[in-house]
Amino acid sequence: MATPRTMLIAGNWKMNGLENEALALAKGVVAGAADVRCALLVCPPSVQLSTVAAAVSGSGVALGGQDCHPSANGAHTGDVSAEMLSDIGCGYVIVGHSERRADHGESDALVRAKAEAAQRAGLTAVICVGETEAERDAGRADAVVAGQVTGSVPKDATAANTVIAYEPVWAIGTGRTPTPDDVQAIHRHLRDTVSANHGADFAAGVRLLYGGSVKPGNAVELMGLADVDGALVGGASLVAEDFLAIAASSA
Ligand code: PGA
């Protein structure tokens, strides 16, 4: 029998907030964490990780980085390694977010190398995929995300050390979302793709998050879909009440 998949609500704070705001937000999430049944993850900017690590310590709220370098250490100015993230208290790291794919030209091969680094350091990689609006309009969304997932998920990834986030680029920060039917269809397609690539057990156990303008007002519908196992939340994760309301919709 397949492992039941625990819902995961992840907050991607991106490049927002100063230290005191990060601390207040972390405390706000911790204050409500006991009231929700799903797993919670917060991913602050890397310079705030140690502050947030202390705030979430012992609360059950997990901590994640927003990116890592493939190498464990070395001459890579400005980068952080997966080992550094683990050392400071992270259990997760986001890799291949569309903003990094676009702003930093990250390829599927580089994203896979980062996910391998996460595995090496004992972190769970949250591997992001998603089509642009032009790709969707051209009827290529399924092919694009299947290609990204095939290129970005390491060969020996397991369902325990991998989360896949489907985030259509055109839905991120725009207030627009695909229809629930479209989200379910593409998640089903992603699960079929990873089943073909990594086997049925991986496909049954891996969590597939939806991301892109998830708000308290649309979370019940989106999180209730059969192949949606949680959310990767940007803007709404910056307000503890909204983030917790999304989590409460996802039990
Ligand atoms: P959004 O961002 O919720 O602000 O659309 C989601 C993301 O980029 O992870």
Q: Are residues 55 and 86 both part of a single domain?
A: no
Q: What is the mean pLDDT of residues 11-17?
A: 98
On whether both 97 and 181 belong to a single domain, the answer is yes
Considering the domain architecture, whether residues 84 and 202 belong to the same structural domain is answered as yes
Dist. CA 1 → ligand 1 center (Å): 33
CA dist., res. 192 & res. 11, Å (int) = 26
Are 143 and 224 part of one and the same domain?
yes
Answer yes or no: do 25 and 133 share one domain. no
pLDDT band at 1 (very low <50, low <70, confident <90, very high): very low
What does the pLDDT average to over 217-228?
Answer: 97
Catalogue the long-range contacts made by 213-217 (C-beta closer than 8 Å, 24 or more residues apart): 213/171, 213/172, 213/173, 213/174, 213/175, 213/176, 213/177, 214/177, 214/246, 215/242, 215/246, 216/242, 216/245, 216/246, 216/249
Average pLDDT value over all residues in the chain:
97
For residue 171, the enclosing domain spans 62-238
Domain for residue 3, yes or no?
Answer: no
Residue 134 lies in a domain: yes
DSSP-H helix ranges across 34-90: 49-56, 82-88
Same domain, 27 and 66: no
My answer on whether 158 and 82 are in the same domain is yes
Give the residue among 32, 7, 5 at the shortest CA–CA distance from 219.
7
The residue contributing the CA closest to ligand 1 atom 2 is 234
Which mutation among 209, 223, 232, 243 tests ligand 1's pocket best, with the greatest number of atoms within 8 A of CB? 232
pLDDT at 4: 76
Closest CA to 214 of 11, 64, 31: 11
List pLDDT tens digits, range 131-171.
999 999 999 999 999 999 999 999 999 999 999 999 999 99
Catalytic residues, which ones? 97, 167
Single residue among 28, 61, 94 that ends a domain in this structure: 61
Q: Specify the pLDDT at position 12.
A: 98
- Co-location of 96 and 191 in the same domain: yes
Residue 127 or 4, more confident: 127
pLDDT in tens, 17-58: 999 999 999 999 999 999 999 999 999 999 999 999 999 999
- Calculate mean pLDDT across residues 163-184: 97
Q: Whose CA is nearest to atom 3 of ligand 1?
A: 234
pLDDT tens per residue across span 71-108: 999 999 999 999 999 999 999 999 999 999 999 999 99
